[in-house]
A and B are shown apart, each in its own frame.
Chain A
Amino acid sequence: MSFPDQHGHFGEFGGRYVPETLMALLDELDKVFRSLKYDKAFKKEFAFLLREYAGRPTNLYLAKRLSSHFKRLNVYLKREDLLHTGAHKINNTLGQILVAKKMGKTRVIAETGAGQHGVATATACALMGLKCEVYMGAEDVERQALNVFRMKLLGAKVIPVTSGSQTLKDAMNEAIRDWVTNVDNTFYVIGSVAGPHPYPLMVREFQSVIGREARQQYLAKEKKLPDYLLACVGGGSNAMGLFHAFFNDKTVKMIGVEAAGKGIATGVHAAPLSVGTVGVLHGSKSGLLQTKDGQIKIAHSIAAGLDYPGVGPEHAYYKKIGRAQYVSVTDQEALQGLKLLSQTEGIIPALETSHAIAYLEKLARNIKRKASVASAASVIVCLSGRGDKDVGGLKDLI
C-alpha cells in the first residue's frame, strides 16, 4: 500500500487542516499534481531543469578522511550542496514553479527559515519570470543576512515577519494568511514535506530524486545496499528525499537527526519527533512541540532551517511504524560536526546539515559496541546544503 491515501493521510498523520477558502484550491492542486504523473512534457521539462540548470545528478562521494576518523564507518556524502543555490531546496522549487505555471498562477509566495528555500524559490521565479515574495521571520532576516541579500538580487521581495517567535513558524503563518487573501492568482511554494495535502506528497515526489540517485549510485559502486541513511530533519524534506526510494529496502536503517538545541533536557530545542506529542499545525497532523494547553511552543536551533516546532507528517508516520529512527544533536555538537567535515574533507556544510554529520560520532560509537559487526558499516549522509550562508555568524562561535 502506498502512502498517503487519497485524503493525504499517512496513517493518523497528515490531512488538510486549513480554512475553507483554501480547500477548493488544494483539490485543484491535487488534481493537477496527480495528472503530472502522465504528463510527458512536464516530466521532460522538469528532468531538463534538474540536469542542465540545477546540476543533477549530484555526486555520491566516499569521504575517506572522514570515514577513517570514525574507523568503523564508510561514509558516503550525497552532495546536494553542489546543486545550484547550494542546497537540495532547488529540486522542489523547480518542480513547484512548473506546477504554478501549469495552474496559470502569476504570483508566488514562500516562507523561509535559513533562507535556502527562499533563495531557491526566488531563483526559480527569476528563471520563469514570475513575481516572488518571501516571508521570513525578522530574527532569521538578521541571522541569515547573506541569503536575504541574495533573494533581493534575484528580484524577490523579502517580507520580515515580526509576530510570535519571528522565525520559520511565524513566516509560515503569514504566508498562509497571504495565500488565503490572494488565492486567485497566488501559488504558495512550501519548502518542506509539511503543510496541507497534497504538499507533503508533492514535495516528497520532487525531492525523492535524491534517494533514487543515491540508491543507484551506491549499488553501482558497492554492489549492495548501504546499512544506514542519515539526514537532518527540520520539516524533513532532504531526509524524506533520501529515505523514500529505500522504503522497501528493509535492511537499510534510516536515521533522522533533529535539533536538540541547547539540550533536550533544557526544553530549548526543535525536536518534535524525539520528545513532542501529536498535534495540528500549518495544515497537517504530525509531531509537534506544544504546551499542556495545546499552544505551539517556540522552537530553538542554532540552524535557522531546523528552528521549527513541527515536522512533516510522513516522518511521524515513519517513526510510528518503526521504519525510521529519530535522534537529536545539540547546537554545540552540530558546530563540532561542521568543523569536523570542514577539516577532514574540505567541505563546509550548512549548520542544518552539520547535525547529521555530528550524529556520525554517536553512530560510530553504537556500532563499535555491537561486537557482531565485523566489518565497517556503510552510511549515506544527505549533505543537504553548503555552509557559506552561516560562516558570517559562526565567527564568534567557533
Chain B
Amino acid sequence: MNRIDSKFKELKKRRKKAFIVFFTAGDPDLQTTEQLVLAVEKAGVDLVEIGVPFSDPLADGPTIQAASQRALKHHVNLPKILDLVARLRKKTDIPICLMSYYNPIFHFGEEKFIKKASQSGVDGLIVPDLPPEEATGLIPAARRNGLSTIFFLAPTTTRERMKTIVAASSGFVYYVSLTGVTGARQQIPSSFRQQVKVAKRLTKLPICVGFGVSTPAQVKAVAEIADGVIVGSAIVKEIQKNKGNQDLVKNVARFISQLSAPIS
C-alpha cells in the first residue's frame, strides 16, 4: 500500500479529514521547499503537493504563475525536484504528490520519469492538463511503479465522465471547487456539495476539494463534505510575503496551522 492510501486509511480510523498543501518547488529556493515540507508535517498537514514550475501554467492564476516564474529563474527542473524528494524521503514519510503540467513529463520521457519518481519516493501524480483520455500511457506505467494517478473532477463534469475519471484515479480524486484557475477567492460556490456527493456514490476513493480555498472558515466548510481540503495559492502568497525573512519557514508553518486548525 502506498503512503497516500495508508494515510487516508489512518485518517478514516481517526475520523479526520485530510489537510493538503501545495508548494511550488524552488520558490523561493529548493532548500526552503525542503524545510517547508519538513516543518508543515508538524503543522497538521497530511499530504504535500509539490508543484513543478512550468512556463505556461494555463490552469493557474496570477499567484502560482508568479511563483513558477520565480522558480524557473533559477532553473528548477524535474531532476532537481526528484532529488529534493529523495532527500526528503530520508527524513519523512509524509505522502508527496508531484503536480506538473504534462509537457515537462512528456519531454523527460513518461516511463523514465515515472520510474525515477517512484525511486525518489514520490507517491502520486497530478497533471492538470492531462485528462484520463490522454493518459493511456501514464496510468499503466504509474500502476506498475506504485504511483497513484490523481485526476480531476470539475463542476462541469458530467456523470458519464465522472465514472471514467474515478476509474482512472487512485490515491484520491481532486475535485475542483469552481470553474476557473487556481487562486484565493472570497467565496466558493456551494455547488460543490452536491457534486461531491454524486462522486462519492461512484467511488470509494477519498474526494479532496481544492481551488479557491484560502481561509480557515472555507477549510471548515469544505471539510464538512469532502474527505480532504487542498490549499495552494494562499500558502504560496504567504511564502512570498515572507521572502527574505529568516523566519519564513516558521511563519508559513504557523499560517498553515491556523488554516488547518478547524479540522485538526
Q: Which of these binds chain B: A246-254, A293-301, A316-324, A357-365?
A: A293-301
Q: With an 8 A cutoff between CB atoms, is B154 at the interface?
A: yes
Complex alpha-carbon distance, A183 and B180, angstroms: 9
B158 CB-CB contact with A under 8 Å: yes
B 56-88 to A, binary, CB cutoff 8 A, 1 in contact else 0: 111101000100000010010110000000000
Per the CB 8 Å criterion, the residue count for chain B at the interface is: 39
Contact assessment for A18 and B54 in the assembled complex, using a CB-CB cutoff below 8 Å:
no
Taking the closest CB of chain A, its distance from the CB of B109, in whole angstroms, is: 10
A23 & B157 in contact (Cβ 8 Å cutoff): yes
B18 at the interface (CB under 8 A from A): no
Q: In the complex, are the beta carbons of A15 and B134 less than 8 A apart?
A: yes
Q: Which positions 169-211 of chain B face chain A at CB distance < 8 Å? A: 176, 179-181
Q: Which of B41-49, B100-108, B141-149, B254-262 contacts A (4 or more CB under 8 A)?
A: B100-108
Say what secondary structure dominates the interface of chain A.
mixed
Among B29-37, B124-132, B223-231, B238-246, the one that faces the other chain is B124-132
Residues 19-43 of A at the B interface (beta carbon under 8 Å): 19-25, 27
**A169 in the interface, Cβ–Cβ < 8 Å?**
yes
Q: Which residues from B are CB-within-8-Å of A295?
A: 54-55, 72, 103-104
With A20-B151, A20-B153 as contacts: A290 and B107 at CB distance below 8 Å: yes
With A16-B134, A281-B103: A24-B58 Cβ-Cβ less than 8 Å = no
A299 to chain B, nearest CB (A): 12
Residue among A25, A169, A176, A281 making CB contact with B156, cutoff 8 Å: A25
Q: Give 10 A-B pairs besides A24-B156, A288-B103 with Cβ atoms closer than 8 angstroms.
A: A15-B134, A16-B133, A22-B156, A23-B156, A177-B61, A180-B59, A280-B102, A280-B129, A294-B78, A296-B55
List residues of chain B with CB within 8 A of the CB of A17: 102, 129-131, 134
Q: Which 3 A-B pairs have the closest CB atoms?
A: A294-B107, A294-B104, A20-B152
Chain A residues with Cβ below 8 Å from B107 are 277, 279, 290, 293-294
B193 to chain A, nearest CB (A): 18
- A164 is an interface residue with CB less than 8 A from chain B: yes
Tally chain A residues at the interface, Cβ within 8 Å.
Answer: 39
> Which of B61, B105, B128, B130 sits near A294, CB closer than 8 Å?
B105
Q: Decide: A296 near B56, CB < 8 A? Known: A20-B152, A279-B107, A290-B103.
A: yes
CB–CB A293/B58 < 8 A: no
Chain B residue at minimal CB-CB distance from A278: B106
Annotate A292-319 by CB proximity to B: 1 below 8 A, 0 otherwise: 0111100000000000000000000000
21 inter-chain pairs at a CB distance below 8 angstroms, sorted by A residue, are: A16-B131, A17-B134, A19-B129, A23-B156, A25-B156, A27-B158, A170-B56, A173-B56, A176-B58, A177-B180, A180-B180, A180-B181, A181-B180, A181-B181, A278-B106, A280-B102, A280-B103, A281-B56, A290-B107, A293-B77, A296-B56
Q: Which of A263-295 contact B (CB under 8 A)?
A: 277-283, 285, 288, 290, 293-295
- The answer to the question of B165 belonging to the interface, with a C-beta cut-off of 8 Å to chain A, is yes
Chain B residues with CB under 8 Å of A294's CB are 78, 103-108
Give the chain A neighbours of B102 by CB distance below 8 A: 17, 280
Contacts A279-B103, A293-B78, A293-B107; is A20 near B131 (CB within 8 Å)?
yes
User: Is there contact, CB below 8 Å, between B152 and A19?
Assistant: yes
Complex alpha-carbon distance, A169 and B105, angstroms: 20
Does residue A142 face the partner (Cβ distance < 8 Å to B)? no
Which residues of chain B are within 8 angstroms of A173 by Cβ–Cβ distance?
Answer: 56-58
**B153 contact set on A, CB distance < 8 A:** 20
| A7 interface hit (Cβ, 8 Å) | yes
**Whole-angstrom distance from the CB of A5 to the nearest CB of chain B?**
12
Bound together, the chains give a CA A290 to CA B157 distance in angstroms of 32
The answer to whether B112 has its CB under 8 Å from any CB of chain A is no
Min distance, Cβ A127 to any Cβ of chain B, angstroms:
29
User: Residues of B contacting A164 with CB < 8 Å?
Assistant: 55-56
Give the complex CA separation of A293 and B109 in angstroms: 11
**CB-based contact A20/B176 at 8 Å:** yes
Closest chain A residue, CB of each to CB of B57: A173
> For A21, what are the chain B residues with a Cβ–Cβ distance below 8 Å?
152, 154-156, 176, 179-180
| Cα A372 to Cα B131 with chains together (Å) | 52
B56 cross-chain contacts in A, Cβ below 8 A: 164, 169-170, 173, 281-282, 296
Q: A342 in the interface, Cβ–Cβ < 8 Å?
A: no
| A173 vs B129: C-alpha distance when bound (angstroms) | 12
Q: How far is the CA of A336 from the CA of B161 in the complex (A)?
A: 53
Chain A residue with minimal CB distance to B131?
A: A23
A294 nearest CB neighbor, chain B only = B107
Q: Which residues of A contact B131 (CB under 8 A)?
A: 16-18, 20, 23
